[in-house]
Amino acid sequence: MDRIRQCLMRYSVFLIVLLAVSGCTTTSLFSKFTHKQKFPTATAQNPAVRCLCLWEPSEGTGVDNKPSRGVSGQIFFFTRGGASAVEVDGDVRIYLFDDQGSAEDQAQPLHQFDFMAGTWKAHLTSTQFGPAYQLFVPYSRKGRHQAELAVRVRLSPANGSPLYSDIAKVSLPGYESAKAKEDSGAYEPETPQTNGSANDNFSRSDRITPEKVGATLLQVLAEHKEASGSTELAVAKVSANPRSQRPARRGSAPSDNETGGENNVSDEPDDASNRPVRHPLRQVLHTVEEIGSEDEE
């Protein structure tokens, strides 16, 4: 009995040490075998006829084994009339497109990822909808720009025709590109003009001159005389322009000065010493005073 007890003690100690050394590794190894599931599989008689893909922006390991942007997704395969997903046997190719470059460049895939039949099975996982293939597809173009990606999956079974998925579009966030900034029409303040006349609403033609003051006073007198019924408006206009009283020279046509023009030059020699200095504004005011005194009489 003592020998049996000693043997049992030795085996018990050995088992305890073995479990302590193996730890969780033994549990995980056993769990892989005990929790392995059998999924329904597509066959040549009942092949997969539909491929459903769910993609979203993500980050993972790139083609150069460095952190990279890309898309993560789950891929489901269904047979005809099947309510749940199935496992497939065949080679898989994933096409990745983006919106960079010309139209010809965008029509060609930026990168394609090939998975042989044995490698593709490593991505198999169990979901509430049945078996699915879960993987990460890296975006191989360098940079942190914003991009619109398009992903498509092709299944080439061992016995059967290829099966293609619908093109799935995924928006990959990033910095706004320079072209988008130009199209956005960002506000840029305009440089103020240094030319004063361009921003001056009060132009030279609108400045106050004695002629314009006289014309305004004459207009006021005309309205006054029209209201009182007086006929002395013509006399006031003639006195306001004394040049019109100058007689015309013999043998010559009447000049513009004789027809009432104020800006034309006379045909007679211009003698600045003999010509009296005229002040149009004073003449108009004097005429207004005379007409006002006559109205009072």
Top-confidence residue, 181 or 152: 152
- Contact status, residue 150 vs residue 81, Cβ threshold 8 Å: no
E strand intervals along 203-258: none
- The per-residue pLDDT for 81 is 85
CA dist 150 and 112 (Å) reads 12
Kindly state the average pLDDT of the residues 135-140: 93
- What confidence tens digit (pLDDT) does each residue in 247-267 have? 555 555 554 444 444 444 444
Cβ–Cβ < 8 Å for 137, 70: yes
pLDDT for 143 equals 84
Give the C-alpha distances (Å, rounded to integers) separating 253 from 138, 245, 248, 250, 270. 97, 15, 8, 8, 19
- pLDDT range class, residue 159, cuts 50, 70, 90: confident
For each of the domains in the chain, give its residue range(s) and CATH number, in order of start. 48-176 (2.60.40), 206-247+256-263+276-290 (no CATH)
Residue 218, pLDDT score: 72
pLDDT score of 205 more than 50: no
Residue 63 has pLDDT above 50, yes or no: yes
Instruction: Give the DSSP per-residue string, 97-150.
Output: E-S-S-HHHHHS-SEEEEE-HHHHHTTEEEETTEEEEEEEEE--S-SSB-EEEE
Cβ proximity of 96 and 151 under 8 Å: yes
Contacts of 166 (CB under 8 A, 6+ apart): 51, 53, 152
Digit-coded pLDDT (tens) for 266-294:
445 455 455 555 555 556 556 656 655 55
Element (H, E) at 152: strand 147-157
> What is the chain's mean pLDDT, rounded?
70
The pLDDT, as a whole number, for residue 194 is 44
Please report, rounded to a whole number, the percentage of residues in the chain having pLDDT higher than 70.
48
Name the percent of the chain lying above pLDDT 90: 33
Predicted confidence at residue 144, as pLDDT, reads 86
pLDDT score at 202: 38
Q: What is the pLDDT of residue 82?
A: 83
The per-residue pLDDT for 219 is 74
Return phi, psi of residue 147, to 5°: -145, 150
Evaluate if residue 8 carries a pLDDT over 90. no
Higher pLDDT: 22 or 215? It is 215
pLDDT surpasses 50 at 44: yes
Does the pLDDT at position 64 exceed 60?
yes
What is each CA distance from 205 to 17, 35, 158, 163, 245, in whole angstroms?
A: 110, 98, 92, 82, 28
What's the pLDDT tens digit per position in 87-109? 999 999 999 999 988 998 899 99
- Check pLDDT > 60 for residue 83: yes
Report the range of poorest mean pLDDT among 5-14, 37-46, 92-101, 126-135.
5-14
Distance, in Å, from the CA atom of 195 to the CA atom of 3, rounded to the nearest integer, reads 117
Confidence of residue 26 (pLDDT cuts 50, 70, 90): very low
Instruction: Specify the pLDDT at position 187.
Output: 42
